[in-house]
């Protein structure tokens, strides 16, 4: 049961850009900021996971630009992916948080790495999942062979095919069908997929947003200037890399590479997990995150 108090507020990230935020849990507890993936609103972090984390933390989640209730601004004022990392700091500033534990998934993992490299004084710890490294350091396999980053495995072809499809407006239920189909591919082939659970998740996000279209802004945003090889190698911020064993977007060995390039990082596997947050992984995920933040604190 959700008993943690909630508080919502808007913070200004840039002139004319406001970000919707939600806080849950004890205001005096160490802050933990959840950073979601591309085109994903903050409600993409499932309620049971947020509640579990809020038992020990002041949990903050927010809507990226062009998602949820935050400003949809890309068409009028295009921005860079790096600007979205600035938004992470803007959320902390706007809510009066000096330092926080950061948890980043997918694009959120990229943004978390940028903050970890550029603003380590704001980060108590970092947890990364479903993401690639902002580093040009080659991957070293267990047998000692080295592979350039560009030679690591790519996205599952079935997902690339889905991403290549044009998104057409055929009404709310058809859009929900499309999103559920997408989640089924991201879920991977190991954990049973519950379409009804993901449909209700997306229905809640659409109700929160007040519209069911997507802007595609994050796919079009400038991706230059994301490499932080030296800063990540030198960081002293405690960092946990979670390795979903059935990850179809950043498949193994991407998490192992990520753990290699970040100074002092630890690697923990989440068996069967893909690039989604179904109920079966929420308990292990919460345990891993809380174990890391407890140790880091």
pLDDT digits (tens, 9 = 90+) for 66-76: 999 999 999 99
Q: Which of 131, 99, 130 is nearest to 115 (CA)?
A: 99
Phi, psi of 146 (to 5 degrees): -115, 140
pLDDT in tens, 77-113: 999 999 999 999 999 999 999 999 999 999 999 999 9
Give the start-to-end residue ranges of the domains of the chain.
6-296
User: What residues contact residue 233 under an 8 Å CB cut-off, 6+ apart?
Assistant: 135, 137, 261, 262, 263
Q: Which of 292, 275, 289 is nearest to 106 (CA)?
A: 275
For residue 8, what pLDDT band results from cuts at 50, 70 and 90?
Answer: very high
The pLDDT, as a whole number, for residue 125 is: 98
Q: Which of 233, 265, 235, 271 is nearest to 252 (CA)?
A: 271
The pLDDT, as a whole number, for residue 283 is: 98
pLDDT in tens, 169-207: 999 999 999 999 999 999 999 999 999 999 999 999 999
Q: How far apart, in whole angstroms, are the C-alpha atoms of residue 174 and residue 286?
A: 32
Q: How far apart, in whole angstroms, are the C-alpha atoms of residue 278 and residue 50?
A: 13
The pLDDT, as a whole number, for residue 4 is: 57
User: What residues contact residue 280 under an 8 Å CB cut-off, 6+ apart?
Assistant: 191, 192, 272
The pLDDT, as a whole number, for residue 167 is: 86
Per-residue pLDDT at 2 exceeds 50: no
The pLDDT, as a whole number, for residue 145 is: 96
pLDDT in tens, 213-235: 998 999 999 999 999 999 999 99
The arrangement of secondary structure in 6-296, i.e. its CATH architecture, is 3-Layer(aba) Sandwich (3.40)
The pLDDT, as a whole number, for residue 6 is: 83
Q: Give the residues across from 147 on adjacent strands.
A: 139
Q: Which of 63, 68, 118 is nearest to 89 (CA)?
A: 118
The pLDDT, as a whole number, for residue 200 is: 98
Per-residue pLDDT at 158 exceeds 60: yes
User: What residues contact residue 289 under an 8 Å CB cut-off, 6+ apart?
Assistant: 32, 53, 103, 127, 240
For residue 297, what pLDDT band results from cuts at 50, 70 and 90?
Answer: confident
β-strand 139-140 against 146-147: which pairing, if any?
Answer: antiparallel
Phi, psi of 270 (to 5 degrees): -115, 95
β-strand 100-105 against 31-35: which pairing, if any?
Answer: parallel
Q: How far apart, in whole angstroms, are the C-alpha atoms of residue 107 and residue 144?
A: 29
The pLDDT, as a whole number, for residue 1 is: 41
Q: How far apart, in whole angstroms, are the C-alpha atoms of residue 174 and residue 192?
A: 23
For residue 5, what pLDDT band results from cuts at 50, 70 and 90?
Answer: low
Contact 12, 93 (CB under 8 A): no
Q: How far apart, in whole angstroms, are the C-alpha atoms of residue 72 and residue 209?
A: 11
Q: How far apart, in whole angstroms, are the C-alpha atoms of residue 127 and residue 109?
A: 8
Contact 221, 67 (CB under 8 A): no
């Amino acid at each position: 049961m959700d008993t943690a108090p909630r508080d919502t507020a808007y913070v200004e990230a840039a002139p004319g850009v406001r970000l919707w935020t939600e806080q849950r849990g004890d205001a005096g507890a160490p802050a933990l900021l959840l950073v979601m993936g591309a085109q994903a609103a903050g409600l993409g972090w499932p309620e049971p996971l947020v509640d579990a984390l809020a038992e020990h933390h002041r949990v903050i989640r927010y809507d990226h630009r062009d998602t949820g209730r935050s400003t949809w601004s890309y068409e009028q004022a295009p921005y860079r992916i790096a600007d979205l990392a600035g938004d992470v700091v803007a959320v902390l500033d706007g809510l009066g948080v000096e330092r926080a534990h950061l948890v980043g998934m997918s694009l959120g993992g990229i943004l978390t790495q940028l903050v970890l490299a550029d603003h380590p004084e704001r980060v108590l710890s970092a947890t990364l999942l479903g993401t690639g490294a902002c580093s040009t350091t080659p991957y070293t396999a267990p047998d000692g062979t080295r592979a350039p980053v560009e030679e690591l495995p790519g996205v599952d072809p079935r997902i690339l095919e889905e991403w290549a499809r044009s998104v057409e407006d055929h009404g709310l239920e058809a859009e929900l069908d499309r999103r559920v189909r997408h989640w089924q591919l991201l879920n991977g082939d190991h954990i049973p997929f519950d379409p009804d659970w993901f449909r209700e998740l997306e229905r809640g996000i659409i109700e929160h947003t007040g519209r069911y279209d997507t802007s595609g802004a994050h796919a079009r945003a400038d991706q230059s200037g994301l490499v932080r090889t030296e800063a990540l190698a030198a960081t002293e911020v405690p960092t946990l890399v979670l390795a979903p064993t059935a990850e179809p977007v950043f498949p193994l060995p991407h998490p192992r590479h990520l753990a290699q390039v970040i100074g002092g990082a630890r690697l923990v596997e989440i068996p069967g997990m893909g690039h989604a947050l179904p109920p079966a992984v929420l308990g292990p995920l919460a345990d891993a995150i809380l174990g890391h933040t407890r140790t880091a604190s």
